[in-house]
Amino acid sequence: MPIVWVKADGSLEIQRIALTYLERERLPGEPTDVAVMRLALRLQSKVPAWVGLTPQLVTEANLPPDRTQRHKWRLQGGRVQVDLTVPDPPAPKKAKKDAIDAAVTLADLKAVLKVII
């Protein structure tokens, strides 16, 4: 059962607990969702970026099958949806290539290379 952590900007962190670990840590008679949430809270204390966030449980069926746009995933009504209004992140090398293309003089190119190198 995936655990969803909603960050301040709306983006998601998704964590799954291995079934072997879940079965080993489950208390006698404890339902799966309660055990997963208890383990999620334990996990939260070990990951500083998750402190203050509220974990939420979703089913595998409520996750998009296509993972190529994970940066656009948002939690809406208990389901993880692709939010098409979220812009794509810039390509890491695009800004450098654009700066090189924009260089007109040798001095411009030297300034760009000093930043890149």
Place of tokens 């190198």: 117
Strand partners, 15: 3
- For residues 81 and 73, is the Cβ–Cβ distance under 8 A? yes
Place of tokens 């208890």: 38
- For residues 16 and 57, is the Cβ–Cβ distance under 8 A? no
pTM equals 0.69
Structure confidence at residue 30 (pLDDT): 94
Long-range own/partner contacts, residues 67-76 (CB < 8 A, 24 or more apart): 70/12, 71/11, 73/11, 73/12, 73/14, 74/10, 74/11, 74/12, 75/4, 75/6, 75/12
**What confidence tens digit (pLDDT) does each residue in 9-45 have?**
899 999 999 999 999 999 999 999 999 999 999 888 8
**What confidence tens digit (pLDDT) does each residue in 90-115 have?**
777 888 888 889 999 999 999 888 88
- For residues 75 and 4, is the Cβ–Cβ distance under 8 A? yes
